[in-house]
Amino acid sequence: MSQFEILPIIEKYYPIKLFVKIIVGSICKIAKYKRILTNSYSERISIIVLHKIGDSIFTTHAIKKIIEFHPDKTISIICFPETKSIFQISFPEVEVLTIPHHHFWNGRIATCEAKRILSGTRAKIIYDLTGAITSATLIASSNANNIIGMNLEYFEPLYDKYTPLRKTPHLNDLYLDVVKMVFPVDNNISYEFPFNVGQTNKVLIHPHAGWKAKEWGIEKYLEVAKKLSSKYEVEIITERGFFTEEIKDEIKEKIKLIETKSVEDLIEEIKNCGAFIGNDSGPIYIANMLGKPTLTIYGPTNPDYSKPFGKHHTEIHKEVSCSPTHAQYCFADAGRKCPDYICMRTLTVDEVYQKTLDFLGKEKIQNRVT
C-alpha cells in the first residue's frame, strides 16, 4: 500500500490523523535534533530516488537541474537496483548506488543495511525526490547538514526545506517542486527528451502495466499486432516468466515474441525499435527517455499527469463517466477496486488499430510492404 493509498484512510478519521501526526512529528523532531549535533563535514550530495521505472524517469529533469546547480560537488544517486541503468544512461558522470528492496522491512521501513548505504556517501546535502515512508525512515538517522525534499505532512519535521506532495499535473513538476525551494527554475522548462531517429521500422508492443486495471489485454494487443504485421515489422515484448507457455505459444503463432531478462535487456530492445506502443507503464517512459515515438493507452489513470511531451508522442484514452479528469486516478483506486474495467473493456481493437496507423504514418515509420 502506497502513501497515496494510506493518506485518505488516515484523513477520514481525524482523531487517528491527529494522533499519528503528533507521534510521528515528535520522532522526526528528535531525529532532526540528533542530526544537527552530528553534522557532516563533507561536500558531497546525495539524491534519493526510490521509485519504480516510470517515476524514476520523471525525476530526471529535476536531477539534471540539481547537477547543474552544484557543478563542483560530488553527487550520488541512490535508487533501487532495477532503475540503476536508467540513471546511468541519463547521468553517466554521476555515481549511482542501489539499495535492494529487501533492505526495507516490509518493503517500507529502512533497515540498518539501507541506512549504512546512505551514511557511506557522507552527504552534506540530501535531496529527497521520493516522498514516501521509505525515504523518510532512510534519512531519519542521517547526519547531513541540509535535507531538502517532499513527503507526507507527518514527516515535515525531518526536513530543513520541505514541500508537500502536489496533487496537480505533471509528475515532472512534483519533483521540480523540491529543487525550486533551493534555486530558481525556468517556468518554460522543456520536458521533451531528444528525439532519436530510428534506423528500423520495427514496432514494439508492450502489453503489461503495474496492475491489471491499466492493461488493455494481450488478446486485443495481439489482434492489433497481427493487423499491423502486414505493413510493419511488429514484435511483442514481455518480461521473462510473465506469460505461461500456453500463452507464449499462442502469441508465437501470430507474431514474434521477445522475452527480456532485465531492465537492461528491455532498454537495448527499445534502442533498436522505430516506435513503441503500450499501456501507462514504465517501458513507455523508457522509450520516451530514449527518444522513441510512443503511443500510450490510458485507462483508469489521467494522461495529464504522466504523458510524454513532444510531437512524437500520442495517446488514446477512452473517456467514460468515471474517468479521472481532475485527479491522477479514478475513484476506484486507479481501477484496482473496479469490478468492470469499463474504460479498457470498451476501447476496441479497431479504434486502437486506426490510431496506431495514423500515428505510424505521421512518424513516417517506413511501411515494409513495397
Total domains in the chain come to: 2
Whole-angstrom Cα distance, residue 125 to residue 42? 9
Q: Which of 126, 149, 180 is the last residue of a domain?
A: 180
Amino acid found at 261: K
Strand order in the sheet with 44-49: 95-98, 75-79, 44-49, 123-128, 146-151, 161-164
* pLDDT score of 40 more than 70: no
The residue length of the chain stands at 370
Amino acid found at 353: Y
* Residue 269 belongs to some domain of the structure: yes
Q: Give residue-wise pLDDT tens across range 323-356.
A: 999 999 999 999 999 999 999 999 999 999 999 9
Amino acid found at 305: Y
* pLDDT score of 36 more than 80: no
Neighbouring C-alpha atoms within 13 Å toward the C-beta of 269: 23
The mean per-residue pLDDT over the stretch 207-216 comes to 97
How far, in Å, are 213, 218, 328 from residue 209 at the CA level?
8, 11, 16
- To the nearest whole number, what is the mean pLDDT of the chain? 90
Residue 197, pLDDT score:
76
Residue 216, pLDDT score:
98
Q: Give residue-wise pLDDT tens across range 41-100.
A: 678 999 999 999 999 999 999 999 999 999 999 999 999 999 999 999 999 999 999 999
**Percent of the chain scoring above 90 in pLDDT:** 80
Whole-angstrom Cα distance, residue 208 to residue 217? 8
Whole-angstrom Cα distance, residue 103 to residue 78? 13
* pLDDT score of 164 more than 50: yes
* pLDDT score of 213 more than 90: yes
Q: pLDDT-based confidence at 154, cuts 50/70/90?
A: confident
* Residue 367 belongs to some domain of the structure: no
- Reading the block at residue 257, the C-alpha cell is 515474441
Per-residue H/E/C for the chain = CCHHHHHHHHHHCHHHHHHHHHHHHHHHHHHHHHHHHCCCCCCEEEEEECCCHHHHHHCHHHHHHHHHHCCCCCEEEEECHHHHHHHHHHCCCCEEEECCHHHEECCCEECHHHHHHHHCCCEEEEEECCCCHHHHHHHCCCCCCEEEEEECHHHHHHCCEEEECCCCCCHHHHHHHHHHCCCCCCCCCCCCCCCCCCCCCCEEEECCCCCHHHCCCHHHHHHHHHHHCCCCCEEEEEECCCCCHHHHHHHHCCCEEEEECCHHHHHHHHHCCCEEEEECCHHHHHHHHCCCCEEEEECCECHHHCCCCCCCEEEEECCCCCCCCCCCECCCCCCCCCCCCHHHHCCCHHHHHHHHHHHHHHCCCCCCCC
Residues 126 and 29 in one domain: yes
Q: Do residues 302 and 327 make contact, with C-beta atoms less than 8 angstroms apart?
A: yes
User: Angle 43-74-114 (CA atoms, 0-180°, nearest 5)?
Assistant: 85
Residue 42, pLDDT score:
76
Residues 247 and 136 in one domain: no
* Residue 14 belongs to some domain of the structure: yes
Residues 256 and 297 in one domain: yes
Residue 198, pLDDT score:
73
Residue 141, pLDDT score:
85
* Residue 196 belongs to some domain of the structure: no
Count other C-beta atoms under 10 Å from residue 190's C-beta. Answer: 9
Q: pLDDT-based confidence at 153, cuts 50/70/90?
A: confident
* pLDDT score of 131 more than 60: yes
Residues 149 and 282 in one domain: no
Q: Which of 149, 180, 211 is the last residue of a domain?
A: 180
Residues 74 and 133 in one domain: yes
Residue numbers of the domain that contains 88:
3-180
* Residue 191 belongs to some domain of the structure: no
b/e map 10-46, b = 16+ CB within 10 Å: beeeeeebeeeeeebbebbeebbeebeeeebeeebbb
Residues 56 and 18 in one domain: yes
Report the predicted TM-score, pTM, of the whole model to 2 decimal places. Answer: 0.90
Residues 141 and 252 in one domain: no
The mean per-residue pLDDT over the stretch 6-32 comes to 57
Q: Give residue-wise pLDDT tens across range 348-367.
A: 999 999 999 999 999 988 76
Residues 214 and 318 in one domain: yes
**Which residue is it, cell 557522507?**
122
Closest to 59 in 3D by CA, of 132, 156, 158: 132
Residue 188, pLDDT score:
87
Whole-angstrom Cα distance, residue 96 to residue 277? 29
Residues 252 and 156 in one domain: no
Residues 174 and 210 in one domain: no
Residues 340 and 262 in one domain: yes
* pLDDT score of 20 more than 90: no
* Residue 249 belongs to some domain of the structure: yes
* Residue 186 belongs to some domain of the structure: no
Residue 4, pLDDT score:
45
Say which CATH number the domain at 234 has.
3.40.50.2000
* Residue 222 belongs to some domain of the structure: yes
Whole-angstrom Cα distance, residue 324 to residue 316? 14
* pLDDT score of 296 more than 90: yes
Residue 1, pLDDT score:
44
Residues 158 and 57 in one domain: yes
Q: Give residue-wise pLDDT tens across range 223-252.
A: 999 999 999 999 999 999 999 999 999 999
Residue 85, pLDDT score:
98
Q: Do residues 353 and 224 make contact, with C-beta atoms less than 8 angstroms apart?
A: yes
